[in-house]
Amino acid sequence: MKAHLWWQYGSIYQIYPRSFADSNSDGIGDLPGILTRLDYLQDIGVDAIWISPIYPSPMADFGYDVADYTDIHPLFGSMADMQALLQACHARGIRVILDFVPNHTSSEHPWFVDSRASRTSAKRDWYLWRDAKPDGSPPNNWLSVFGGSAWTWDETTRQYYYHAFLKEQPDLNWRHPRVREHMYAAMRFWLEQGVDGFRVDVLWHLIKDEEWRDNPPNPDYLPGQVPYAALIPAYSTDQPEVQGIVQEMRAILDQYDERVLIGEIYLPIHRLVTYYGTAGDGAHLPFNFQLITLPWKAGQIAAAISEYEGALPAGAWPNWVLGNHDQPRIASRVGLPQARNAAILLLTLRGTPTLYYGDELGMRDAVIFPENIQDPQGKNIGVSRDPARTPMQWSAGSNAGFSEAPPWLPLGHDYEHCNVESQTGDRASMLTLYRRLIALRRTEPALSVGSYHPIFTEGEVLAYIREAEGQRWLVALNLSPRPALLPLDAIGSGQIVIANETRRETHRVQDRLILSGDDGVLVRLD
Ligand code: NOJ
Ligand code: CA
């Protein structure tokens, strides 16, 4: 079998740094905090961490508004802390992936301060400035993801500027060669520091229609959906020209050893896969969010896996994601029993899995009182992402062992029984399930890099076989609370190695597999 790289056989763990571990008792997680928790990361067995933005930022969007691409926000630590973290991670064989936010800067970034100072500023066209329509209204109908028009009027220079997100996050003009130069220099800066790759924020947004045409209305829009969904972003996102930028980014990473380029892209499969490039020259891993966006139905998930497997260009490596800092947590979307099946799915599908911190405990969305909402998306359009960003639940102790100070977001109400300490050593816990799945993936090539064969099933059973080097594994997940049966005549017999109902482990199965409601099993086939 051909050799695979670390980002193909390994798993990635996303850390939202504000909420992982606080080292200096200000209630906000930081880099030295992460450093104190490397034993834990090594113990669960992840191969890489992706850290959400740690750059200087006014924090209008909690770091996704960058004011300096080549430094560390003092809240998170210093460059020395970053170097220490890189070294310590690498010493343990853990790679470090940084979040890179090229689509927009903070409105307080010196480039934008300069750009908005006057129409003749040398950096004026580093951003997207347009005249008002004759009636004074914005240049077109484009909407901000966070609500309202994507255009903000600047009284000083009497033009509008474009921002796909907050008005504090003006979009850069990626057609400008100087912008590219500077952003690529920032990427090189971190690669030289030793980071192992980037997760590139909203990669599909970078280039906008040169003619600024209006986006068409979305005929399927339903009241109650976010206002942004009222239009199809046909002209403001996913423009063909963006592929050239992806290639340029990739070419930069290729000058270094085994670095990984991950793209955050919310698009349908047939568009998503174009971000792999045409000749293996695009992103290594355009994030595949289907397990987040699809209903938890066996038929739909099975069809989506097959569609995705079929759509991958030659040589492209798949990947799967269950959750992130922008989405409700998996345990709150599908419930705790099914979150166990989700874990098995994530860690046994073909492709690189990305875990979201706390999901390995079955952390759930927390209740945040309206007066405590921090997230600008929550404040603006009522869809707060705070519930999925609460502090990591380390113990039942004060502030869940996250900090000695009251944390910046409230704790999940279940932290006293849902935490690392209480789940460690408990054979039936979510944490133990994650640990065992990751360990098994590491020893069984069939589960990490093996081939994928769907099994046709009826009802709510999702089943497939993974195979490599003569080893075959059956994964069978009952996505419903009702019992189900899977005939094994065409599959063969074997031994249950992991089961949600742990008492079934080591049992032999043949002829047919009985799955009680919500059960899921991993069977080593004979
Ligand atoms: C995607 C990030 O994941 C999200 O948190 C952020 O608000 C937007 N991009 C804007 O940067
Ligand atoms: Ca801190």
Residue nearest atom 11 of ligand 1, based on CA coordinates: 64
pLDDT per residue as tens digits for the range 429-469 = 999 999 999 999 999 999 999 999 999 998 999 999 999 99
**Pocket flag, ligand 1, residue 444 (CB < 6 Å):** no
CA of 92 to the centre of ligand 2 (A): 24
The predicted pLDDT at position 3 comes to 83
Give the catalytic positions in this structure.
201, 264
Give dist(CA 505, CA 508) in Å, integer. Answer: 9
Residue nearest atom 10 of ligand 1, based on CA coordinates: 64
Residue nearest atom 4 of ligand 1, based on CA coordinates: 326
pLDDT per residue as tens digits for the range 90-103 = 999 999 999 999 99
Give dist(CA 206, CA 249) in Å, integer. Answer: 12
Tell me the C-alpha to C-alpha distance, in Å, between residue 345 and each of 320, 333, 372, 382, 386: 9, 15, 35, 31, 26
Mutation pick for ligand 1 pocket among 165, 374, 375 (CB with most ligand atoms within 8 Å) = 165
CA of 266 to the centre of ligand 1 (A): 12
Q: Is the per-residue pLDDT at 500 higher than 80?
A: yes
Tell me the C-alpha to C-alpha distance, in Å, between residue 161 and each of 113, 115, 140, 154, 391: 13, 10, 11, 7, 36
- Round the average pLDDT of the chain to a whole number and report it: 97
Give dist(CA 472, CA 475) in Å, integer. Answer: 10
Per the rule left: phi > 0, alpha: psi between -120 and 50, beta: everything else, 404 is alpha
The predicted pLDDT at position 2 comes to 52
165 CA closest ligand 1 atom index: 10
CA of 65 to the centre of ligand 1 (A): 9
Closest C-alpha to 283, from 468, 85, 97:
97
Give dist(CA 168, CA 314) in Å, integer. Answer: 40
CA of 384 to the centre of ligand 1 (A): 13
Give dist(CA 100, CA 341) in Å, integer. Answer: 31
Residues 6+ apart with CB under 8 A from 52: 14, 15, 16, 17, 18, 62, 63, 64, 99, 325
CA of 445 to the centre of ligand 1 (A): 34
pLDDT per residue as tens digits for the range 11-70 = 999 999 999 999 999 999 999 999 999 999 999 999 999 999 999 999 999 999 999 999
What does the block give as tokens for 311?
A: 């759509």
**Pocket flag, ligand 1, residue 47 (CB < 6 Å):** no
**Pocket flag, ligand 1, residue 99 (CB < 6 Å):** no
CA terminus-to-terminus distance, the chain: 21
79-91 and 177-193 helices, crossing angle to 10°: 60
Mutation pick for ligand 1 pocket among 171, 326, 377 (CB with most ligand atoms within 8 Å) = 326
**Pocket flag, ligand 1, residue 201 (CB < 6 Å):** yes
Q: Is the per-residue pLDDT at 1 higher than 70?
A: no
